[in-house]
Structure 1
Amino acid sequence: MKQAKIQADDIKHAAQGKWSDLIFPSFGIEVQWKKKTPCPACGGRDRFWYDDKNGNGDYFCQQCGPGDGLSLIEKTCTRFTFPQVVSEVASILGLSDSSTITDEDRARWAKEREIRKKEQLERERKRQEQIARKAEGIFRNAYLGEESLYLKNKKVEKDPKIKITHDGNLLIPAVDLLDGKIWNLQTIEPDGTKYFIKGDTNETGEWETGGGRMGGLGFMIGEVQPDLYDDHNICVAEGYATGMSIHMATGYPVALSFVANNLPKVGNVLKQKYPNAQLVYCADDDSAKDDTGRKYAQMALDITGGIIVLPQFKQIQESIA
């Protein structure tokens, strides 16, 4: 009796929950769930979004459009026709024994994947350098002013290492705390709106946003004691107003991480540079609903040691004395 032909719908039913861990890796395809990544098919820095929304390996690419797992394999492994893709996936799932994938295919796909990864890293490096040059230029050439409504409303002082522009914006460099290089720049408008370098056009004339380096970057309010052999406190906070309030209340230097998920990285850098410092993580409670500040402060604490306090400014001095 002739065996019934495997249908695409049969594949999708059998493949539920197996796309990212079993099926895609067999074709040299890497995906990350609900995170912008380069598209395995067409490339690009962060055009691709994999969410497996319907359980069919579903994805969306800003360049080559949406599709399911079968279409992604067809686009990426161009030597296969769609019926061949169906047959290969069926074989991987144990629905047939007709696979024609060879070890040479897998080796070639692995090599192609490594090439794509290197190209992506090089594009990312160039992008970060571009943003760094732009940040340094904006900060160096800023048309200065004297008053900041944001600082006035927050009742905090201006650190001498930041700038106020003629229209009242604050410019805060995001620097490598090990060597002092500016890699990005935070702007805080008078109404409290915050953003980093927004981007520029790329080689093909497309407008790109973001792309600058942020991981591990910070800004130091105040000065750290130069004697590395004495114990001393360094506070770590997210935003400028919180950090300066802590500095004003305690006199301790405060390293800004800018955002919560950067706390562990900034803490790790500080521990490298100041191994004898006690790091005091001042968890920001702005996102108390999700407890984000405390969560990342605890992650940082697990890496570097130290203590966690909440920014209740009247109590900070005695809490960390």
Structure 2
Amino acid sequence: MKQIKIAAIDYGNGYFKRTYNGVDVLVDPSIYAQLPDNQFILDETQSVITVNKWSVIIGEQALNSGFPITTLVGTTDEEKYANPLYNELLFAFIAKDIGKDVCIEHLVLGVPVHHYANYAEPVKKLFHNKHKTIWIDNKEIKVSIKSVKVVPQPMGTFELLDAKASRLLIIDIGYGTTDVTEFMNQAPFQFYGENTGIRHVYLTLQTYLSETFPSLTLDPYKTAQYIQAGSLAYNGKTEKLDKTKINRAMDYHFNQLMELIKQKSGIAESDVIVFSGGAAEMFQPQIEQLKNKKIQLMDQAQVANVLGFYQIGERLV
């Protein structure tokens, strides 16, 4: 059995980010595709995982499987915690990553700041001192987690900051949520969150894509791929996307988000404002347009939190 002292996981609505050594970070969409009964997979690059007697493909492999994909986010993103697959898929990702029996001594796991008060303890109970057997391609893999520490997601970014201002604001923009955390003299004193993120941009642009390319099969993840590439393959041709429409949608949603943040946070009084999260990378042009010397975009913004979680875990050993 492989022994891992620290595992850090940022189990986001959009992407599942994890590291087992504090250096290499694995990133997959937080999705799965359930295989129909008696369906066989001939592609050896796709791992079939048995979860609750279902056969599923997870993460990036699910996105490329050709089967309908499902996310854990319901009508409200808090619904994922009540979904049994929220628990099962975390163990499944670990089993798939390690590939053999594994015992994790300390797991550091983040939740959005506006979920922390109500869900930190229930989430901890899901994984603390828990053991599961996962079947991957008919191979049995046992996963054990001894102890769990749940932290607000932006605390990961805070860990990585070298110079911590007397009044600091971290804006963590993710796939489906935005977390705003204010620090005074290096201590968090106010949390604020919105159930909005880059997903809402993709949903807007999905309408544009479906109208322009009617036979295209779309979901927010495919839309994200096309938007980031700036083009897509359609009817045997490479079609460039309308940059003006994309930029207009990005500008609109970013401005809406910033208005909410200005209304509910002390952004004007902050000495330093740090943008983090995967969506912050997507919004880089909009962030730069603010032309505010107080503002900085976190290096490795998409994985900053999980790298910080690992540093928190190092203090537990």
TM range (shorter): under 0.3
Larger Rg: 1
The structure whose residues are more often strand, as a share, is 2
TM-score (norm 1): 0.25
Q: Comparing both chains, which one has the higher relative contact order based on Cα–Cα distances under 8 Å and sequence gaps of 6 or more? A: 2
